[in-house]
C-alpha cells in the first residue's frame, strides 16, 4: 500500500512538472506575441473551487459573486482585492483552504475582483486608473448587486445599502488602502492582508528597488509590460534556497495525500502568473519604492492629494510573522499613519501560507468575525508583543 501511494504521488508530481513546463512555454509564446503585437484575446480560466456568478465585466476585469447556502441578509458585502501580479484564485484555491468559501459559508456576502489578463493595449493605463476607476467600478457593481438582493422592487430604492467593505491581499491591500482614502464615505471596513505600507526599509526587496539601483523608466521603456518571469525570479531570489526546502518538505510528506494535493494546487497557482501593465508598474514602483509616499503622506492620484492621516475607516491589519516578501514592520506602520481604529492580528505563517495554508484558518476566522461585527481575539497578538525578536 505504501509503495502504491509513493508511485501515485510521483506520478502526480511528474504530471505537475509537465503542466508547469507547458505553462512556461505558453508564457514565452504569449510574451513573444505581445512584443510583436500579434496577441489574441483569450478567455481567462478561473481555477477556484467555490461556485460563483460573474455579475459585472469591464474589458478583462470581472467581479465574481460567490454562492452559498448561509443567509447573508442585512450584511455589508465584502469585496476581495487580490494583487495585480498574481491570479486571484489564491483566495479560493482548495475547498478546505478557501477564504472566499469560508466567508460565504459564515454569512458574509463575498465578491472577488478578478483583474483579468492585461494585454499590450493596457500598457498606457496608469496605476491611478486601477486604484480609482477599476476598483470603483467593482465596488459599484457589488453595491448594486447587494441592493437588488435586499430590495423588494427592481429599482433597488430605499434599501440603504450604499457601503461596501474591502479586503486587499499584498499589493491589492496597498491599492485597497489608497482607494479607501479616496472614497472613505463608501467603505465600511478595510482588511489588509500581508499588505505593504512602508516600502523603504532594510528588507531585500526594498534594497533592490531603491531609486539609485533600480531604473524603472529604463525597464518599462525597454520591455513594456513587466513580464511575470521577471517578477517571479525576483521573489525566488529573496530566499534562493526556498525551492530546495520546498522539495525537501514535499519528500518528507510524500505519503500524506492531502499535503501532496496542497502542494500541487499551490504550485499551479505560483506558476500561473500575469504581467503588469507598463505605466501602472512605473507609477507603483516610483510612488512606493522610490518615494515611499504612503508613509510620508504624499500620495497623489489623478491630481488629487490624499490625506491618509485623516482616514477613520476601521482597519483589520493581518500580518504574517514569517513573511519575507512583506515583513511585519512594513505593514504594522499603518497604525502610525492613519487615524482609523486598527485591529492587529499576527499569524505564524509566510506570505502565501497566511492566505491559504493550514495557519490561514486563523485568518479566515478573524476576517469573518470582523466583517460580521464580532470581536476579534487572536492569541498571536500577545505572542507578537511578548517576543521582541520579531518586532
Q: Which CATH number fits the domain that encloses residue 323?
A: 3.40.50.1820
Decide which of 29 and 231 is more confident: 231
Q: What domain range includes position 92? A: 41-226+275-390
pLDDT band, very low/low/confident/very high, at 9 (cuts 50, 70, 90): low
What is the rounded average pLDDT for all residues in the chain? 85
Residue 232 within a domain: no
Residue 283 within a domain: yes
Residue 30 within a domain: no
Residue 270 within a domain: no
Whole-angstrom Cα distance, residue 229 to residue 223? 13
Residue 5 within a domain: no
- Each residue's pLDDT tens digit, 336-360: 999 999 999 999 999 999 998 788 9
Q: What burial class does residue 305 get, using C-beta atoms within 10 Å of its C-beta: 0-12 exposed, 13-18 middle, 19+ buried?
A: exposed
Residue 265 within a domain: no
Total structural domains in the chain?
1
Whole-angstrom Cα distance, residue 210 to residue 220? 16
Give the largest Cα separation in the chain, rounded: 66
What the block records as the C-alpha cell of 200 is 523603504
Helix (H, G, I), strand (E, B) or coil at 192: strand
Angle between helices 135-150 and 171-182 (to 10 degrees): 70
Residue 78 within a domain: yes
Residue 116 within a domain: yes
What does DSSP assign to residue 203?
A: S
- Each residue's pLDDT tens digit, 42-61: 555 688 999 999 999 999 99
What does DSSP assign to residue 95?
A: G
Residue 119 has pLDDT above 70, yes or no: yes
Amino acid at each position: 500500500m505504501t509503495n502504491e501511494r509513493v508511485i501515485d504521488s510521483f506520478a502526480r508530481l511528474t504530471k505537475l512538472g509537465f503542466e508547469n513546463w507547458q505553462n512556461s512555454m505558453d508564457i514565452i509564446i504569449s510574451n513573444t506575441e505581445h512584443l510583436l503585437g500579434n496577441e489574441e484575446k483569450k478567455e481567462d480560466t478561473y481555477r477556484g473551487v467555490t461556485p460563483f456568478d460573474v455579475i459585472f465585466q469591464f474589458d478583462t476585469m470581472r467581479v465574481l459573486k460567490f454562492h452559498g447556502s448561509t443567509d447573508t441578509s442585512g450584511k455589508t458585502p465584502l469585496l476581495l482585492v487580490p494583487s495585480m501580479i498574481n491570479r486571484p484564485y489564491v483566495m479560493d484555491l482548495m475547498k478546505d483552504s478557501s477564504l472566499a468559501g469560508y466567508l460565504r459559508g459564515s454569512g458574509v456576502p463575498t465578491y472577488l475582483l478578478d483583474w483579468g489578463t492585461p494585454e499590450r493595449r493596457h500598457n498606457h493605463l496608469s496605476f491611478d486608473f486601477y486604484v480609482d476607476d477599476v476598483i470603483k467600478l467593482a465596488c459599484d457593481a457589488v453595491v448594486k448587486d447587494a441592493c437588488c438582493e435586499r430590495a423588494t422592487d427592481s429599482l433597488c430604492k430605499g434599501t440603504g445599502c450604499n457601503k461596501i467593505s474591502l479586503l486587499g491581499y499584498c499589493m491589492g491591500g496597498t491599492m485597497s488602502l489608497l482607494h479607501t482614502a479616496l472614497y472613505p464615505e463608501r467603505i465600511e471596513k478595510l482588511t489588509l492582508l500581508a499588505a505593504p505600507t512602508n516600502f523603504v526599509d532594510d528588507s531585500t526587496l526594498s534594497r533592490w528597488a531603491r531609486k539609485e539601483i533600480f531604473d524603472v523608466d529604463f525597464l518599462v521603456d525597454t520591455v513594456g509590460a513587466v513580464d511575470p518571469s521577471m517578477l517571479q525570479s525576483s521573489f525566488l531570489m529573496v530566499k534562493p534556497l526556498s525551492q530546495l526546502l520546498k522539495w525537501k518538505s514535499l519528500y518528507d510528506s510524500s505519503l500524506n495525500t492531502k499535503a501532496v494535493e496542497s502542494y500541487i494546487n499551490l504550485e499551479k497557482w505560483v506558476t500561473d502568473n500575469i504581467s503588469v501593465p507598463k505605466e501602472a508598474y512605473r507609477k507603483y514602483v516610483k510612488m512606493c519604492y522610490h518615494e515611499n509616499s504612503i508613509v510620508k503622506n504624499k500620495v497623489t492620484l489623478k491630481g488629487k492629494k490624499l490625506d491618509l492621516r485623516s482616514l477613520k475607516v476601521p482597519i483589520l491589519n493581518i500580518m504574517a510573522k514569517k513573511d519575507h516578501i512583506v515583513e511585519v514592520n512594513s505593514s504594522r506602520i499603518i497604525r502610525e499613519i492613519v487615524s482609523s481604529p486598527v485591529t492587529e492580528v499576527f499569524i505564524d505563517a509566510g506570505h502565501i501560507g497566511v492566505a491559504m495554508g493550514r495557519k490561514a484558518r486563523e485568518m479566515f476566522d478573524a476576517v469573518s468575525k470582523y466583517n460580521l461585527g464580532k470581536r476579534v481575539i487572536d492569541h498571536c497578538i500577545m505572542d507578537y508583543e511578548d517576543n521582541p525578536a520579531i518586532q
